[in-house]
Amino acid sequence: MSSYVEAYLGRLQGGAARTGRELAPISDRNRAVRLVESDARSVESGFAAGVLTVEDGNRVRTLDPRQGTARLVEGDPAHLCWERLPQLAAYVDLLGAGFPPGALRFETPESELRLDLAAVDDDGRVLVLGEAKAEPLQLAKLEALVQTFEGDPGARSCATRDGDAHRLAHRLWATRAPYLWLVAAGARRAFRVHYGRTLRLTAQEALPHAADLWPYGCDGATPAVALPGSEAMTA
């Protein structure tokens, strides 16, 4: 196991201990599949640079002043929040790619659809919607299923196997984000999103450059996520 992964696990073990819990054993499979060195390296660099901090031993904070609660571990004994590592790594990587700190939203509150990641313009319109999962195989399923819904499936809770795709489809329709970024352990997939009778995702080699998304810069206060609605349209 790499020193970066060990540093990340040590951080989580310490946080669990400060809340009076022990970190549950991690299976060999999860160590191999879900604890990826490149993600841990990005996250640890984020802590070193001060763009990530930990409060009360278990709540991680980004530079997003509107961020909701984001825990590193949960339960008793404490289990890792497996999606958190790639989610945090993706946030740090966007900053490293020149995305403006004030335009990056992380773990938005319920009133803003609980988005994992979002890059927004000065008015809060979502330019890139990020969705984080624990493993790369989950991304392929999301990509396939999110394109099967006819129109906005709505915000109702969905406990079926398609629940994650249901929620993502609703988030896309509600924000009308032109780009989708699916992230998981060691995996990143970028798409251009087209809105018609159904959603259509076109794979991209990478997300647009920051200069293309914010040609005039982004220097204002971090805005709330704008939700223009889900009327049918073609993009």
Query: With 60 as the cut, is the pLDDT of residue 167 above it?
Result: yes
In which band, very low, low, confident or very high, does the pLDDT at 234 lie, cut at 50, 70 and 90?
very low
Q: Compute the average pLDDT of residues 111-128.
A: 97
* 172 vs 106: CA distance, rounded Å: 16
Listed residue (100, 128, 132) closest to 204, CA to CA: 128
How much is the mean pLDDT over the chain? 92
Q: How many CA atoms lie within 13 A of 82 on its CB side?
A: 18
Which residue has 């896309």 as its token pair?
Answer: 172
Token output for 173: 């329709």
Query: With 50 as the cut, is the pLDDT of residue 231 above it?
Result: no
* pLDDT tens-place string over residues 56-89: 889 999 999 999 999 999 988 899 999 999 999 9
Taken as a whole, the chain contains a residue count of 235
Give pLDDT, residue 233: 38
Distance of CA 135 to the CA centre of its chain: 13
Give pLDDT, residue 165: 95
Give the SS3 label for residue 73. Answer: strand
Give pLDDT, residue 191: 98
Report CA-CA distances (Å) from 63 to 49, 51, 68, 77, 214: 11, 6, 12, 29, 19
Q: What is the dihedral of CA 103, 170, 188, 209, to 10 degrees?
A: -40
Give pLDDT, residue 235: 40
